[in-house]
Chain A
Amino acid sequence: DVKVTQSSRYLVKRTGEKVFLECVQDMDHENMFWYRQDPGLGLRLIYFSYDVKMKEKGDIPEGYSVSREKKERFSLILESASTNQTSMYLCAIRGGRENTEAFFGQGTRLTVV
């Protein structure tokens, strides 16, 4: 079974703080993704990575950066957290028999106060 683990289920941070969200996979998958989920907007892609140290912007990268120093770990960084970044954050990897399936972590509910 593919396992995607996000380090925190719930986080509360203050405006202006630097925030790190961590995601770890237990297989050798190349593609990893960060999405945010908001009611009525669905899942929107923030960044994705297709290899170590390789990254590409998704649809809403402003205010975020990412780091992938090791294949199994993909970190999302909020450089200076703002209240409009309060959201559910989901990490995913691409895998499955035909490598067409997105496997998601359980999500991190981030509240910025």
Chain B
Amino acid sequence: QQQVKQSPQSLIVQKGGISIINCAYENTAFDYFPWYQQFPGKGPALLIAIRPDVSEKKEGRFTISFNKSAKQFSLHIMDSQPGDSATYFCAAVEGNFNKFYFGSGTKLNVKP
């Protein structure tokens, strides 16, 4: 049973557009929500993360929106660029950080 549900599985966006990826969870013990970016042939790397005491976090063109009551969070990529083309994973982590639960991944293709 997947602890974190991610959608869509794939996404095509024009250069300059907004990419939106959504995730949902059930376990209220999760208290850290990172997003990872993976390029072909590489391992995933941390992109941005949020804790549930804030509703939004922005770093450059990347924003996480967090809705604690709905148990949902999303990644928004503003002004999407071809270099953003990658696979994105959301994750949820319990307080002891012994387990990271990852979503199924979203393959983003930004067309020039």
Question: Interface of A with B (CB < 8 Å)?
Answer: 4, 31, 33, 35, 39-45, 48, 50, 56, 58, 90, 92, 94, 96, 99-107
Contact = CB atoms under 8 A, between A and B. Distances in A.
A56 B98 CA distance: 10
A33 B100 CA distance: 10
Contact of A99 (B43, B89, B97): B97
A42 B6 contact: yes
20 contacts: A31-B98, A35-B102, A41-B104, A42-B2, A43-B89, A44-B102, A50-B98, A56-B98, A92-B43, A100-B32, A100-B34, A100-B49, A100-B93, A100-B97, A101-B49, A102-B100, A103-B45, A106-B41, A107-B41, A107-B42
A107 B91 CA distance: 19
Given A31-B98, A45-B99, 17 more contacts: A33-B100, A40-B9, A40-B105, A42-B89, A42-B103, A42-B105, A44-B102, A56-B98, A92-B43, A96-B46, A100-B93, A101-B34, A101-B49, A102-B44, A104-B45, A105-B43, A107-B41
Given A41-B104, A100-B49, A106 B99 contact: no
Contacts of A105: 43
Given A48-B99, A100-B97, A102-B100, A107 B9 contact: no
Main secondary structure of the interface of A (DSSP, over half): strand
A99 B34 CA distance: 13
Nearest to A58: B99
A58 B101 CA distance: 10
Given A31-B97, A101-B34, A4 B102 contact: no
Choose among B36, B45, B89, B102 the residue with the greatest number of A CB atoms under 10 Å from its CB: B102
A43 B41 CA distance: 15
Nearest to A101: B46
Contact of B98 (A48, A90, A103): A48
